[in-house]
Amino acid sequence: MKNTNTFSVLFWLKLANAKNGKAPLYARITVNGRRAELSLKRKLLVSNWDANKNRLKGLSDETKIFNNYLEQVHAKLYDSCRLRSFFIKKHNFIYFKS
C-alpha cells in the first residue's frame, strides 16, 4: 500500500497584530493535515498584500525581490519536509508527537 503525504505552505498577514497599517508575515505549513505556524520576522503594509495570491502587490523591483524571497522560503520548507520524510522512511526513525 502506497502512503501519500500532503504538503502545503500558506503565507498570510496576522491582521490581529497589525499596528500603523503593518502586520507581521507568517507561513502556515500543513503536512498530512497537521498545521504549524512560523513567523517570518517581517512586517508588511496591509494595503500592499494580495491575500488571494499570498504575495505582495505590484511590479516594482523591491516587490519582485520580496516575492522571490517567499518562493525561496517555500522551496526550503518543502525540501526540509522531503528530507525529514526520507530519513524516517529510509532509517525507520521513530519520533514522538507532542
Segment 54-68 shows an average pLDDT of 96
Distances (CA, A) of 64 to 13, 58, 60, 68: 18, 8, 6, 6
For the full predicted model, state whether its pTM sits above 0.75: yes
- Res 2 pLDDT > 90: no
Q: 85 φ, ψ to 5°?
A: -65, -40
Q: What integer pLDDT is reported at residue 79 of this predicted model?
A: 86
- Average pLDDT over the chain, rounded to whole? 86
Read off the pLDDT of residues 19-56 as tens digits, 9 standing for 90 and up.
999 999 999 998 888 899 999 999 999 999 999 999 99
